[in-house]
Structure 1
Amino acid sequence: MANFYLEAFKTFVKIGAFTLGGGYAMIPLIEAEVVEKRGWVSKDEFVDMLAIAQSCPGVFAINISVFIGYKMRKTAGALCTALGTALPSFLIILAIAMCFRHFINIPWVSAMFMGIRPAVVALIAVPTFNMAKITGICLTNCWIPIVSALLIWAFNVNPIYVLIGAGIGGYLYGRIIKPTE
């Protein structure tokens, strides 16, 4: 169905073109388009795809778009959504690279970038809180993502070790602690 490919490409071009802050800032837009508006994947599938995309090497936004495209139309769908996601960023970066050094010393341009930075933090925080709500993070287990983030940020622990530790902890909890509760 050629119509799906055009629709998917346009959807991911729009997401890629109008999202500042990278892959994590794209999460609410992707979720709104793919889960809520188009129903291509369920909310649970989307959360699982986020976890897998984060765990895989490569650019997060491309990973998540590939998983969505592949689920919908296998390899051709994955190529279509990945291209749609990457093309706007590529063209914007190319234009900025050609012109940036001429504009960075202009005070209003520099001020604009200073204003965008905190907004990008908010764009990353919103999907984090949404994902926490969806995955059942509450007061009794909120220590897990907090400790994980501190290990990575403050102590420079490799995220792979944090994921392995969390997986082992979850396994042990499910096999040893939870049955006795």
Structure 2
Amino acid sequence: MIYLQLFWSFFQIGLFTIGGGYASLPLIRDEIVTNKGWLTMQEYTDIITISQITPGPIAINSATFVGTKVGGFGGAIIATLGTVTPSIILSLILAWAYYKYRDIKIMQGILGGLRPAVVALIAAAGLALFVAALFQSGGTAIGGITINFLAVAIFLAALYALRTTKIDSIWLILVSGAVSILFHLIS
């Protein structure tokens, strides 16, 4: 039964995600944290972090990690298949439709109308991860708000480095992770 739930949950995520992996993050969070309760918000944030530093699309990596946690190796396969199946079906249908109707002006209007929705989904995902990382995970409570000062310091340092140097973002991610690990080992 868990395999069917995994497949259906990630099939829906794959079906309703428009705009790529980052646009799927709010849908994944709502389904696996809020609706199903398979992960906590902290586990979700960790999985997104791991999904970003491993090769491959973030939605597929997330499905694989969640599937593994919930249903083992079989769950990983099923969740991953659930994520990609709608894309395969829709890509075949859209490729056929685009090839047949590519010269119609309304087709260009539809594609142009989807762009703002994609930007909004990506911004919502970024904001949710930002809040979870800086204000909800293992911080110090001040006036009813939990602030993770280490995460805030790493964020500000990384932002400064991105804006003032030409450091590669991969190195920035690795250094940020190393700083966090060292801090937690020392304390």
- Tell me the TM-score normalized by structure 2: 0.81
Aligned mates of 1:40, 1:127 — CA distance in 2: 19
Aligned mates of 1:5, 1:148 — CA distance in 2: 44
| Higher deviation after alignment, 45-54 or 4-13 | 4-13
Residue aligning to 1:62:
60
Percent identical pairs in the alignment equals 33
**2:70 is aligned with 1:72:** yes
Deviation readout 1:78-130 (Å, 9 max, x if unpaired)? 00100000000111112222231332321111011111112211111101111
Distance 1:143 1:103, change over 3 A: farther
Alignment of 1:85-164 (within 5 A): 85-136=83-134, 141=153, 142-144=155-157, 146-147=159-160, 150=163, 155=166, 157-164=167-174
How far the C-alpha of 1:165 sits from its partner, in A, is 2.6
| Higher deviation after alignment, 118-127 or 138-147 | 138-147
Residue aligning to 2:177:
167
Distance 1:23 1:44, change over 3 A: same
Deviation readout 1:44-69 (Å, 9 max, x if unpaired)? 11100000011100111110000000
**Cα RMSD over matched residues?**
2.5
1:12 aligned partner, one-letter code: F
Deviation readout 1:11-67 (Å, 9 max, x if unpaired)? 111111111011111111111111111111111111000000111001111100000
Q: 2:29 aligns with which of 28, 31, 49?
A: 31
The unaligned stretches of length 5 or more in structure 1 are: none
Distance 1:89 1:144, change over 3 A: farther
How many residue pairs match? The answer is 172
2:134 is paired with a residue whose SS is: coil
The unaligned stretches of length 5 or more in structure 2 are: 136-146
1:112 is paired with a residue whose SS is: helix
